[in-house]
Each structure stands twice: as C-alpha cells, then as structure tokens.
Amino acid sequence: MKAFVSVISLVALVLFACTEKKTENATAKEMNTSVNDSKAFKSGYAAINGLHMYYEIYGGGDPLVLIHGGGSTIQTSFEKIIPLLSKNRQIIAVELQAHGRTSDRNAASSFEQDADDVAALLKSLAITKADFFGFSNGATITLQIAIRHPQIVNKIILGSPLFNRDGVSSGFWDFMKNASLANMPQPLQDAYLKLNPGDTAGLQTMHDRDAKRMVDFKNIPEAKIQSITAPALIINGDKDVILSEHVLALHKLLANSQLAIIPGTHGEYMGEVTTITHDFKESDLVIVPMIEKFLK
C-alpha cells in the first residue's frame, strides 16, 4: 500500500506543477526585458494557432527549446537549470495552451497540437532549427515534434518521456479517470494562484485540459518512434513515475539514442519545483554537464 500511495503522489506531480497565468494580447515582436535571479531575459507573446503564446529567451548561442511538464510553467519545471544551461546556449522556453501566461483556445489540448504550436512559435521567431529538451508531458511533445516537424530538429533530450500507456503503473490510468483539483499538491495550487490571484477558473481549466489529454492519450506507434533520426538523450529517475523498463524500450527503438537513469523521483534530476528540499544544491544537478556534453 505504501508503494502504491507513493506512485499516486508522483502521478499528481507529473501533471500539476503550476505557476503564472496571463492572457495579454501581444505578438512575437512585442518583447519585454526582465531580470530573474540577476540574469536578464527577454519575454514576449506570439499569436499562434488561436493562442497568445508566451515565451522567454535567455543567453546566446545555438538555440535549445525547453518544453515544460503537464500543468507546469517555465519556472516550475526549469527555473533551477536555466541559469546553468544559458551560460553556453540560447534558451527558448515556452508555455503551452492554458499553462502559465499562455491563453486557452477553448478546445481540448493534445500532444500533437502542442507540437504544432511550438513549431509555429519557432517559425514566428525565425528559428529554423533547434535542439529540444522536454520534461514529462513536454518529452512526449518533443517526440511529436521530432515526428511531425523533423526539419526543425537537431537533437532531442527527453526527460521522463511517455510514448506507450504501459510506461506507467496500472494505477496511473485509474487515477487519471477520476482526477480532480483536490489531488493537486497544495504548494502547486498556491504557486498558480499567487501569480493569478483569485483565478480559480483558470486553474481548473488548466487541470481539466491536462487530465483529458492524458485520458485520451494513445500509444505512439513504434514505427513512428523508429522514424526519428535525431540524436536523443533519454533521462529518467530510478523512482520515477515513468517505469525504467519503458525508457529502456524507448532507447532500443531510437537508433541514435543514449539513456541515463538517475537516482531520484520524477524531475528531481533537474530541480523541478515539487522535488526541492531544504538541502538542495545546484551542484546536485548532474544532468547539466551530461546535457552539455550531449549537445556538443
């Protein structure tokens, strides 16, 4: 029973890491400069497939696109590693439909649509090719980008990816069928509402979009996975929601891939917000030199 409860707790973390929301009507050309942890970045909105899609750009060099997990935002997934990765790369971090500061298009979301949205955003920014790092649901979206838009992909990094419904314990899908806002960890709800005071409707919309996207999830055919030629780095926690045997199977399907299984839970290897403890140190993020070596 204790192991099952642990899995269910991690399931909640897979889906619901949330912070800011805003629905400003802006375009990719309307950029704002902000400061985060004493590091300057540019932010903006682009009109993408019926969305006002929010993004941030850090650093300089070859572009690396960051795609957050389900229910999350740029900061809740990547805040701890952006300052490290942006030392040598141009980081382009996005927020997906109904997440963070990106608006909702009043239609169900899907991994395929999210992939198309990210590809369209890059086109609006005049970026013809990039590397991609997707975490959790963002990793599944990254797989779809590599399948649907291979011409824009250089290399892909897949953090805790799901491509087959057998990649999680059977209890996961039963949980998702009955998912409710009450299952969302309170610190994550607090983070969302702090940046969107009183916007419980937006919080509910984000939750419902993600829950339905997971319930509707269908296996990505192995032939489509095998069609991906981009070099891939697969990362998973040894106590992850995503099963180790699942990422091993993905590694075997992706001909040009590497696999790293890191001690820890879902996203702990990158400092995802729900995994941060009082003794967290940036030096514990062993995947940063691993990613830099892979991208070089």
CA distance 214 to 245: 20
pLDDT band at 31 (very low <50, low <70, confident <90, very high): low
- How big is the CA angle at 135 (ends 209 and 183), to the nearest 5 degrees? 45
Instruction: Please state, in angstroms and as integers, the Cα–Cα distance from residue 242 to each residue in 110, 141, 161, 170, 227, following that order.
Output: 19, 15, 7, 11, 22
Q: What is the predicted pLDDT for the residue at 83?
A: 96
For residue 49, pLDDT over 90 is answered with yes
Residues 287-296, mean pLDDT to the nearest whole number = 97
For residue 186, pLDDT over 80 is answered with no
Q: Where are the domains of the chain?
A: 2-295
Residues 6+ apart with CB under 8 A from 113: 49, 97
What is the token pair recorded at 258? 């590497």
Tens-place pLDDT, residues 82-134: 999 999 999 999 999 999 899 999 999 999 999 999 999 999 999 999 999 99
pLDDT band at 33 (very low <50, low <70, confident <90, very high): low
For residue 173, pLDDT over 80 is answered with yes
Residues 45-56, mean pLDDT to the nearest whole number = 97
Q: What is the predicted pLDDT for the residue at 157?
A: 99
Give the burial string for 145-181 (b: 16+ CB within 10 Å, else e): bbbebeebbebbbbbbbbbbeebbbeebeebbeebee
pLDDT band at 192 (very low <50, low <70, confident <90, very high): confident
The CATH number given to 2-295 is 3.40.50.1820
Tens-place pLDDT, residues 259-274: 999 999 999 999 999 9
How many CA within 13 A on the CB side of residue 156? 33
Is residue 260 exposed (0-12), middle (13-18) or buried (19+ Cβ within 10 Å)? Answer: middle
- Between 53-67, 91-105, 172-186, 237-251, the lowest mean confidence (pLDDT) is in 172-186
Q: What is the predicted pLDDT for the residue at 25?
A: 39
Q: What is the predicted pLDDT for the residue at 255?
A: 95
How many CA within 13 A on the CB side of residue 288? 19
Nearest by Cα to 262 from 249, 271, 250:
271
For residue 26, pLDDT over 60 is answered with no
> Which helix (H) or strand (E) segment is 142 a member of?
helix 137-148
CA distance 129 to 148: 14
Nearest by Cα to 212 from 51, 49, 67, 97:
97
At 285 the three-state DSSP class reads coil
Q: What is the predicted pLDDT for the residue at 34?
A: 52
For residue 6, pLDDT over 70 is answered with no
Q: What is the predicted pLDDT for the residue at 269?
A: 97
Q: What is the predicted pLDDT for the residue at 155?
A: 98
CA distance 230 to 249: 17
Q: What percent of the chain has pLDDT over 70?
A: 87
Q: What percent of the chain has pLDDT over 90?
A: 72
Q: What is the predicted pLDDT for the residue at 94?
A: 98
Q: What is the mean pLDDT of the chain?
A: 88
CA distance 74 to 91: 11
Distance between the two ends of the chain, CA-based, in angstroms?
44
CA distance 69 to 210: 10
Is residue 263 exposed (0-12), middle (13-18) or buried (19+ Cβ within 10 Å)? Answer: exposed
pLDDT band at 191 (very low <50, low <70, confident <90, very high): confident
For residue 29, pLDDT over 50 is answered with no
Neighbours of 124 (CB within 10 A): 17
For residue 36, pLDDT over 80 is answered with no
Q: For the CA atoms of the chain, what is the radius of gyration?
A: 17
What is the token pair recorded at 132? 């991609």
pLDDT band at 39 (very low <50, low <70, confident <90, very high): low
> Do 231 and 257 meet the contact criterion of CB atoms below 8 Å apart?
yes
